[in-house]
Amino acid sequence: MLTRALNDLKNPKSNTGSLQILGTFTGSDGSCGFETGKRYELIVKYARGRNRFEAKTKDGRLFCPYQSADAFAKNWIASAIQKGA
């Protein structure tokens, strides 16, 4: 479900500008400032010019780039996904 939503975001024909994700970080503790096992509200966009996904917390305090949907999915468990504008 998560990888599919991210790949849809990457699709140039998609009208989805971003995803709002409620997710639990499963990556290495401290990576990009995130704590393993903690839930975050994220806004994820696909930066076409940089060819990467960019995730930031809703409050804007933490940011982390990902080179692929699979790389993102390896570090996050999504409990809710909502399409943004």
Query: Where exactly are the structural domains of the chain?
Result: 2-83
Rounded to the nearest integer, the mean pLDDT of the chain is 95
Cite the DSSP H helix spans in the chain.
2-10, 69-75
Cα(55)–Cα(19) distance, integer angstroms = 9
Specify the pTM: 0.93
Non-local (6+) Cβ contacts of 48 within 8 A are 12
Query: Which of residues 85 and 19 earns the better pLDDT score?
Result: 19
3-state SS assignment for residue 81: strand
- The model's confidence at residue 60, banded by pLDDT at 50, 70 and 90, is very high
